[in-house]
């Protein structure tokens, strides 16, 4: 079989529809299971520090497995890799359902998620032509954000009703993702690896990192997406701290709804990027990243709820416009140099390291009793400065290339 779906090529092919359905159910299960498992930890009287510790296990799986999952994605048909990864998520959810230690079950879900990510993005470059890759990424981001919104809400509501029922629903959702993967045709593996010796794989992963870092455009993509997702995780925690101080609202719902506005904005921004940006003009998205930091500064100084909703929606729109072209650019150039799966694995490695580092800096600021408004202003300015440096580097490379 060729690298594209011959039966119905393009964004509405059977293969692409199956990928988007699988992605929705997989991401829905991830987000629903997070909130259900957090509720389970409370019921089982785990200490408060156990909640972020559990999430750190999830992120750590991406970092530890980064050298291996890219080769796994490129060594086998990516649709089958996605099915195996969703099967691991299903197994983790079932372990929690049947009373196993939730840390073990959730860690297994993290391993499945780490294995799934390079395949789900890498397969886009095999199912669509280059001119459609940005649009395909826009569809993927829209499917993911829709799953995040609905999965989070469903997980919280189901957990309030019955944790046992909620866990069963999460497991069934992962099962639906596995079924959807069956409808993806068996594409030819992108690359056959030379072996599975850990030292050789780590050496190969290091070489892939070096190769992508030497390419100025893939380097720009990796840095940009890493900064964006690291900032996104940090902003989620910052809102929880900022809302009571700046808006005088002490409930738990308001930070959740504000985060939802970012997600809705990302869908809109991803759609705009799919229409306005091509692979050849991908670097035009970088100024949107600079503006994101400035909007975060404006948000930090805000004291009214309605403008906060508007500013967070704007952050999401800019974020979607910023992230989608960078993902497409990395997949396109990475497919040629190291394989799309390996490129995404390197990207995940950078993004998750950025998440841990930014959260560590945020935690340090909180421990030093820095005011939430000051943290927000400093965070926004540093983010804008970092993206400005990335933009300057991209422009310098363009000038050097003539």
* Per-residue pLDDT, 400: 46
pLDDT at residue 207 tops 60: yes
Q: How many residues does the chain have?
A: 402
Burial of 294 (0-12, 13-18, 19+ CB in 10 A): middle
- For domain 201-402, the CATH architecture is Up-down Bundle (1.20)
CB 246 within 8 A of CB 303: yes
Segments making up each domain of the chain, as ranges: 1-193, 201-402
Whether the CB-CB separation of 110 and 61 falls below 8 Å is answered with yes
- Per residue in 16-54, pLDDT (tens digit) is 788 888 889 999 998 888 878 877 887 888 775 676 677
The closest alpha carbon to 174, from 191, 193, 151, 158, belongs to 151
Q: Would you place residue 1 in the very low, low, confident or very high pLDDT band (cuts 50, 70, 90)?
A: very low
Which range has the worst mean pLDDT, 133-142, 213-222, 367-376?
133-142
Which one, of 237, 233, 232, 225, lies nearest residue 365 by Cα?
Answer: 237
Rounded (to 5) percent helix, strand, coil in the chain: 85, 0, 15
What whole-number percentage of the chain has pLDDT above 90? 18
* Percent of the chain whose predicted confidence (pLDDT) is above 70: 88
Q: How far apart are CA 281 and CA 9, in angstroms?
A: 24
Q: What is the pTM (predicted TM-score) of this model?
A: 0.69
Distances (CA, A) of 136 to 27, 123, 193: 17, 10, 27
Q: What integer best gives the mean pLDDT of the chain?
A: 80
Buried b / exposed e across 352-372, counting CB within 10 Å, b at 16+?
Answer: bbbbbebbebbeebeeeeeeb
Let me know if the fold of 1-193 is the same as that of 201-402: yes
User: Is residue 3 scored above 50 in pLDDT?
Assistant: no
Give 301-364 as a DSSP string.
T---HHHHHHHHHHHHHHHHHHHHHHHHHHHHHHHHHT-HHHHHHHHHHHHHHHHHHHHHHHHH
Structure tokens at 195: 């072996």
126 neighbors 4 (Cβ within 8 angstroms)? yes
Tokens describing residue 397: 């490379």
Tokens of 6: 């011959």
In the predicted model, is pLDDT for residue 402 greater than 50? no
- At 232, is the pLDDT very low, low, confident or very high (cuts 50, 70, 90)? confident
Helix and strand numbers (H, E) in the chain are 14, 0
Give the per-residue pLDDT at 108. 92
Reading the block at residue 374, the tokens are 């000051």
Convert the pLDDT of each residue in 133-183 to its tens digit.
777 777 777 788 788 878 877 877 787 788 889 899 999 999 999 998 888
| Range 1-193: architecture per CATH | Up-down Bundle (1.20)
């Amino acid at each position: 079989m060729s690298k594209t779906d011959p039966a119905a090529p393009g964004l509405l092919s059977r293969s692409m529809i199956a990928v988007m359905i699988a992605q929705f159910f997989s991401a829905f299960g991830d987000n629903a299971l997070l909130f259900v498992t957090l509720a389970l930890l409370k019921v089982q009287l785990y200490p408060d520090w156990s909640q972020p510790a559990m999430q750190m296990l999830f992120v750590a799986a991406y970092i530890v497995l980064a050298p291996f999952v890219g080769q796994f994605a490129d060594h086998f048909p990516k649709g089958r890799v996605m099915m195996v990864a969703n099967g691991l998520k299903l197994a983790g959810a079932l372990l929690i359902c049947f009373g196993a230690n939730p840390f073990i079950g959730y860690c297994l879900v993290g391993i499945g998620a780490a294995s799934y990510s390079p395949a789900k993005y890498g397969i886009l470059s095999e199912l669509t032509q280059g001119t459609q890759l940005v649009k395909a990424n826009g569809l993927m981001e829209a499917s993911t954000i829709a799953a995040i919104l609905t999965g989070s809400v469903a997980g919280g509501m189901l957990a309030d009703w019955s944790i046992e029922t909620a866990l069963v629903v999460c497991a069934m959702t992962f099962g639906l993702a596995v079924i959807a993967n069956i409808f993806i045709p068996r594409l030819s593996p992108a690359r056959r690896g030379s072996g599975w010796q850990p030292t050789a794989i780590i050496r190969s992963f290091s070489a892939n990192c070096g190769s992508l870092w030497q390419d100025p455009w893939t380097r720009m993509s990796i840095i940009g997406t890493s900064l964006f997702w690291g900032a996104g995780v940090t902003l989620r925690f910052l809102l929880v701290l900022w809302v009571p101080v700046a808006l005088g609202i002490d409930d738990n719902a308001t930070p959740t709804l504000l985060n939802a506005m970012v997600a809705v904005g990302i869908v809109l921004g991803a759609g705009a990027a799919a229409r306005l940006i091509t692979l050849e003009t991908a670097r035009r998205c970088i100024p949107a990243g600079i503006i994101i930091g400035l909007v975060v500064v404006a948000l930090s100084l805000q004291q009214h709820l309605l403008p906060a909703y508007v500013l967070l929606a704007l952050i999401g729109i800019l974020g979607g416009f910023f992230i989608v072209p960078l993902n497409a650019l990395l997949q396109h150039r990475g497919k040629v140099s190291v394989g799309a799966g390996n490129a995404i694995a390197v990207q995940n490695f950078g993004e998750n390291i950025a998440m841990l580092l930014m959260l560590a800096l945020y935690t340090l600021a909180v421990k030093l009793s820095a005011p939430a408004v000051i943290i927000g202003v400093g965070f926004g300015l540093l983010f804008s400065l970092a993206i400005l440096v990335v933009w300057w580097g991209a422009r310098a490379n363009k000038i050097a290339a003539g």
